[in-house]
Every structure is written in C-alpha cells, then in structure tokens.
Homo-oligomer: A and B are copies of this chain.
Amino acid sequence: MDRAILAALQRDATQTASALSGRIGLSQPATWRRIKRLRDARVLSGRRVVLDREALGFGVTVFLGVKLATKGRVSLDDFERAVTAIPEVQLVEHVLGLYDYRLRVVARDLSDFERVLRRRVMTLPGVGDVEANVLLSEERRPGPL
C-alpha cells in the first residue's frame, strides 16, 4: 500500500491526501498517516519545486565530466569548495570511474557557457581533463519501486 502511495506521488506530487485516499481505497486520515510515516522515516525525504530554466532565460544545460590532476584529500576538498561557489553549477556529483566529478551547468546561451567554462571551470584548483556534453532533451522515469 505504501508503494502505491509513493508511485502515485511520484506521478503527481501536487495531489492531496484526500485525492490519494480515494484512489487507493483508504480513508483520508489513514492515507495521511501513511504519508506522514513515510516522511518521518525519511523515505519521502522532501519536496522540490521544478523551475523552467528556459522561462528564466537559461537555455543551455551542459554536463561536464572533470578529471582532477591531483587527488589528495586536500585536492578534493579544495575542488568541492571552489566548485560549489560557481552559481551556474546546479549539481556536483562525486563519482568513481573515468571522471572524478560530474557537474551540471546551466547558462543563458552558448557564449555565456563559454564564459563560465573559461573563467570559472578551467580555473578550478586541480582541474585536469574536462569533457562536455550539451543537453538536448531529457526524460524522467518513475524508477523502480
């Protein structure tokens, strides 16, 4: 039953407990208590607003794969501190594999992105190779529940 609630909320996070209750065949308070229990258990760890980047004038999203040149603990800390100070960086992912970090960067257009890349990213401490992919489109899936 909890799975049904999570799946429904993933599909539409705006629906109310009473709307959900009808759908899954429970009373409204029972449904609400389950949602609260999931929240308290940190299974539902938050709600997030989705902003339309295009409507805000940020038409370009680029993924950067970054390889560090030097990889001591201090290097990682320095890099993370510096990269999180770049406003255009939406997401910093520390990964294991061909790259050390993966960044999601938004910019107004490609020339704006070039500025970010040259002035901000290439000057980060310890940066080695940088590889870029420009986002064309993306689709979110419900994921396995």
Contact = CB atoms under 8 A, between A and B. Distances in A.
How many copies of this chain? Answer: 2
Closest 5 CB pairs of A and B: A97-B133, A95-B133, A46-B50, A96-B134, A90-B143
Contacts of A45: 50-52, 55
A139 B131 CA distance: 20
Nearest to A131: B98
Given A96-B133, A97-B134, A14 B47 contact: yes
A137 B92 CA distance: 8
Interface string A99-117: 1001000100000000000
A65 B95 CA distance: 13
Given A10-B51, A47-B50, A144 B94 contact: no
Interface in A62-87: 63, 65, 80, 84, 87
